[in-house]
């Protein structure tokens, strides 16, 4: 069973179409990148998965169950969600930021600390950082804390919305490595939104290309690059990749 299935989804905002006729299955324990120009509906698609967006028409299934919009808390416990700018609470320490959700779930202290240490290890954050505040960390370090926070409950589904977007190229490349390492250690179903095809190619097994609320193509990186199904995809790929050759890292 595919962990996330979109069936005939349509979503409008104030009568304006954001997504139209979306049929899509997300593969289990794989990374799917959703890519497209600004305003193409990427964030809307992502937020349909954790119920932040309710479709006008169609259904979203998570692990086979249609989303129950009257009981989203249960759904969101199984879904990690990280957005651009990390969304860290500035007045809370690193430790507090990372462990907040687990505390709310009444995990015992020992389990919380163990999970926090494991995650910080995984993303190469020194344990001495736990008492620092977000402003005492670099952008890349803050982003890593954001990843730890989103992973604390060990969600089987992990959503990232342009989570690496604000970082400089070098930091971004480092975070990509951590991301790939994490995915290797604890495989999970990841959907990441990006406007950067290079990022999608580097991190994702499946790529979904959106344009004006429609899916243009779904495929592997090779499919997308070598067999573009529409003129839009061909132009989009060409435009994004023409500057320098792509580095394959997987």
- Whichever of 45 and 152 has its CB closer to ligand ADP, that residue is 45
Of 38-46, 79-87, 132-140, 216-224, which segment contacts ligand ADP by CB under 6 A? Answer: 38-46
- Whichever of 40 and 97 has its CB closer to ligand ADP, that residue is 40
Question: What secondary structure does DSSP assign to 81-122, as a single string?
Answer: EEETTTT--TTS-HHHHHHHHHHHTT--HHHHHHHHHHHHHH
- Whichever of 84 and 173 has its CB closer to ligand ADP, that residue is 84
> Which residue of 40, 43, 99, 189 would you call a contact of Mg ion, by CB under 5 A?
43
Cβ pair 171, 138 in contact under 8 A: yes
Measured distance CA(147)–CA(80) in Å, rounded: 9
Judged by CB under 6 A, does residue 43 bind ligand ADP? yes
Residues 59-88 that bind ligand ADP (CB under 6 A): none
Judged by CB under 6 A, does residue 38 bind ligand ADP? yes
Contact partner, 140, from ligand ADP, Mg ion, none, Cβ < 5-8 Å per class: none
Cβ pair 248, 242 in contact under 8 A: no
| CA end-to-end span of the chain | 26
3-state secondary structure of 134: helix
Judged by CB under 6 A, does residue 15 bind ligand ADP? no
> Which residue of 4, 24, 31, 40 would you call a contact of ligand ADP, by CB under 6 A?
40
Interaction site with ligand ADP (CB under 6 A)? 13-14, 18, 36, 38-44
Interaction site with Mg ion (CB under 5 A)? 42-43
């Amino acid at each position: 069973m595919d962990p996330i299935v979109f069936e005939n989804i349509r979503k409008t905002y104030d009568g304006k179409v954001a997504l139209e006729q979306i049929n899509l299955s997300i593969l289990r324990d794989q990374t799917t990148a959703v890519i497209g120009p600004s305003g193409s509906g990427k964030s809307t698609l992502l937020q349909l998965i954790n119920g932040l967006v309710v479709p006008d028409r169609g259904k979203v299934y998570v692990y086979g169950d249609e989303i129950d919009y009257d009981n989203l808390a249960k759904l969101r416990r199984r879904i990690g969600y990280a957005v651009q700018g990390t969304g860290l609470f500035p007045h809370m320490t690193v430790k507090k930021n990372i462990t907040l959700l687990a505390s709310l779930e009444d995990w015992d202290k020992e389990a919380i600390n163990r999970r926090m240490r494991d995650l910080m290890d995984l993303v190469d954050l020194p344990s001495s950082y736990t008492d620092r505040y977000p402003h005492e960390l670099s952008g890349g370090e803050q982003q890593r804390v954001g990843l730890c926070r989103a992973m604390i409950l060990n969600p089987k589904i992990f959503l990232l919305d342009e989570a690496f977007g604000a970082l400089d190229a070098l930091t971004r490349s480092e975070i990509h490595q951590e991301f790939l390492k994490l995915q290797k250690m604890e495989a999970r179903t990841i959907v990441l939104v990006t406007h950067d095809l290079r990022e999608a190619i580097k991190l994702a097994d499946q790529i979904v290309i959106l344009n004006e609320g429609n899916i243009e193509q779904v495929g592997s990186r090779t499919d997308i690059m070598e067999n573009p199904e529409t003129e839009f995809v061909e132009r989009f790929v060409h435009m994004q990749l023409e500057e320098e050759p792509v580095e394959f890292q997987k």
